[in-house]
Amino acid sequence: MNSDLVLLTDSDLPGTAAGDTLAAANLRFAEANSRDAATLIQSGSDATALVVQWAPITAEVMDGMPNLKIISRLGIGVDMVDIAAATERGIAVANTPTYCIEEVATHTLALILAQARGLSRYDAAVRAGRWSAVDAVPMSIRPTATTVAVIGYGRIGRMVAASLTAMGFRVVVSDPFLDEQAAIAAGVTPAALADALAGADIVTLHAPLTESTKHMLNAESIATMRRGAVVVNTCRGPLIDEEALADALESGHLGGAALDVFAEEPLPETSRLRANDRVVLTPHAAWYSPEALADLPVHAARNVVDFLAGREVPAILNPEVLAQGVSA
């Protein structure tokens, strides 16, 4: 058995796939089942690696684990890990960027089309005994007459944009790291964020959550959007100021929203978004399929297995630590 210790900090996923993957590679592992910093430090004082879902991995937690070499996230977003602090300490941080691309892109498209064709309101009307094709809310669009702004052009954003383009939508893309020539070749139009928001009938968010992107949709930016526009978010809840979104929906400035992620999850019962029938809500489910559920813990554990074995881990987000000579 390898002397390295891998701490599984927390997980709400069923099954034992992460531990099984580590054990098959002859790695010792322990399960903290906690998001509390003190508990994690106590459980992982000798840990070489972490597999984390939601537990905040701060500089304090890292300093309590002097042998730590790699942190692997059960998921794509890494806003719960202080990557800058990890890099300062020579700790690699990896995520699982490929396990649910198809699922999130498909869920996003479903939400866009449900709002763009007024499906939830049509359904409610028919069930209530009303039969009118011209009462779609918030809209009933023709794709070739509709502009969608895709904010963030990573793996998922690219798949969403390609699918929308294939259906005839005009797609504009905003991403600070955008390869504009590649985007144009893919049939989408590069745009600055302000221009993308102001010109879109539908805005779909696919940006990482950082200090600069938190509340990228707020009262000020929402006010620049077209009256009746729709917002879709399957990425990270805090990208949107939910109170500002609720204000814009209630005033009629925005026509609707379709949300899978929220600032607080589960969405509080007191949220004004629950009471608005122009909002489609799903329970942070965009990532889910049986296949994705099976892949996620294995991918996260394999990051650790490969890193500690000295093999390349393409999912490492701070490769500069490798250039510094940090290795297993």
Taking Cα atoms as reference points, which of 150, 69, 159, 52 lies closest to residue 105? 159
Contact 286, 292 (CB under 8 A): no
**What percentage of the chain's residues is helix, strand, coil (to nearest 5)?**
35, 15, 45
Q: Cis bond leading into 319, ω under 30°?
A: no
Q: Mark whether 142 is an active-site residue.
A: no
Reduced to 3 states (helix: H, G, I; strand: E, B; else coil), residue 29 is strand
Q: Which of 265, 291, 311, 320 is catalytic?
A: 265
Which position has the token pair 């905003």? 174
Catalytic residue among 206, 236, 278, 302: 236
DSSP-derived letter for residue 197 is: H
Active site residue 236: yes
Residues 233/190/143/155 CA torsion (nearest 10 deg) = -50
Q: From CA 318, how far away is CA 96, in angstroms rounded?
A: 14
* Rounded Cα distance, 8 and 97, in Å: 19
Q: Are strands 170-174 and 189-190 parallel, antiparallel or unpaired?
A: parallel
Q: How far apart are CA 137 and CA 246, in angstroms?
A: 17
Whether 127 is a known active-site residue: answer no
Q: Which residues contact 26 (CB under 8 A, 6 or more apart)?
A: 1, 2
- Beta sheet of 28-31, edge-to-edge order: 28-31, 5-8, 49-52, 70-73, 92-94
Q: In this structure, what token pair is assigned to residue 3?
A: 């002397």
Tell me the one-letter amino acid at 12.
D
First to last CA, the chain: 16
Active-site amino acid positions = 236, 265, 284
